[in-house]
Structure 1
Amino acid sequence: MTRDEAVALYRKYNTSESLYRHALAVEAVMRRFAQELGYDPDYWGIVGLLHDIDYEQYPDEHCKKAPELLSAAGVSEDIIHAVVSHGWTLCSDVEPEHPMEKVLFTIDELTGLVTATALMRPSRSLMDLEVKSVKKKWKTKGFSVGVDRELITKGAQMINMEVATVIQLTIEGMRTVAAELDLAG
């Protein structure tokens, strides 16, 4: 599957621009981690793009409707498994197995925390965002309460990385699409 095909498939089921920006953020971060870990960034990016394919139209069936939608489009089983496993412990019983799946599980929610932290800065930008700023907001009760910090910590342990390293790579990935995320300052 090409990136253009993945975008078209995603757009077929999702019209929300904020959800699309999230998909772009996750795609960019997946690409960054693939580079870091020696995997194919294009492949990992497609998984990142498609990870929430069912979320807008089927929020109560998130990660449950995705296999049907992806399979109907001829998407491979390994991508389907990765998409479903990102909701492990939240809305799916499918445990992440491959490093790609573990990274997706870890960074999905983290992109939201990084975005929220960037938006609180005077620059409203990822370009000058530092790990320490995200970690400070991480500890602030009431900030981005929907972001499950324990899940991110568990994911970081699964990929054998310190949380600070995961945050740094997430920021670096998101910077590559900062303009599309409206976070370039």
Structure 2
Amino acid sequence: MPTREEAWALLNKYNQTDSLIKHALSVEGVMRHFARKYGEDEDKWGIIGLIHDLDYEKYPEQHCAKTKEILEEHHWPQDYIRAVMSHGYGLVTDVEPVEAVEKVLYTIDELTGLITAAAYMRPSRSVMDMEVKSVAKKFKTPSFAAGVDRSIILNGCERLGMELNDVIGECIEGMRAIAPAIGM
């Protein structure tokens, strides 16, 4: 099984942009939070979250496909690779999120970006005082963080059988746990 240190080294080999590193850390934190909530392997879920956008900085046109290639070259387990591939479902892959880890990653990837953008608008620039209702309000404003695909988040909530506000709350909690690492 790959270690977090191996995942971190790979992430840093292919990504130098601070915002992409912080996004990876945010997704890792939220994935670990959900793993604890579901009684799953926190390290596995966290590592998958950490490397989910491994190829995005250097190979944006080959997003997910290049990550698959890189992870296969490093002999990563197929279930890790499949989970990473599933977060691009309907956009850049046809790998449908089926397992819990896949559904969570698919749902929270875009949402962490929205929460980050909402936090930067706050005087505190932090998730520590963030409330679900303020994120939900931003969610309903299409011009705010316009690059965030809200349909993916809603589709993911449906796949998880959770209400949007509940998923927002869980994401905020997961990001709070790693707030110092992501500068929030």
TM-score over 0.5 for the alignment?
yes
Q: Distance in 2 between matches of 1:69 and 1:150?
A: 29
RMSD: 0.8
Q: Distance in 2 between matches of 1:50 and 1:123?
A: 28
Q: Distance in 2 between matches of 1:141 and 1:103?
A: 23
After superposition, what is the alpha-carbon deviation per residue over 1:128-185, rounded to whole angstroms, capped at 9, x for unaligned?
00100100111123100111111101101101111111000100000111112111xx
Letter in 2 for 1:121: R
Give the secondary-structure state (helix, strand or coil) at the position aligned to 1:69: helix
Match of 1:62 in 2: 63
Q: Distance in 1 between matches of 2:20 and 2:126?
A: 19
Structure 1 stretches (4+) deviating beyond 2 angstroms?
A: none
Q: Distance in 2 between matches of 1:72 and 1:128?
A: 42
Q: How does 1:162-181 map to 2 (within 5 A)?
A: 162-181=163-182
Q: Distance in 2 between matches of 1:180 and 1:74?
A: 28
Match of 1:33 in 2: 34
Give the secondary-structure state (helix, strand or coil) at the position aligned to 1:65: helix
After superposition, what is the alpha-carbon deviation per residue over 1:9-39, rounded to whole angstroms, capped at 9, x for unaligned?
1111111111010000000000001111111
Task: Provide structure 2 residue ranges, at least 5 long, that are not aligned to the other structure.
Answer: none
Q: Distance in 1 between matches of 2:95 and 2:142?
A: 30
Q: How does 1:83-94 map to 2 (within 5 A)?
A: 83-94=84-95
After superposition, what is the alpha-carbon deviation per residue over 1:17-72, rounded to whole angstroms, capped at 9, x for unaligned?
11010000000000001111111111100000010111111100001111110011
Q: Distance in 1 between matches of 2:81 and 2:114?
A: 25
Match of 1:155 in 2: 156
Q: Distance in 2 between matches of 1:63 and 1:23?
A: 14
Task: Provide structure 1 residue ranges, at least 5 long, that are not aligned to the other structure.
Answer: none
Give the secondary-structure state (helix, strand or coil) at the position aligned to 1:52: coil
Sequence identity (%)? 56
- Farther off after superposition, 9-18 or 30-39: 9-18
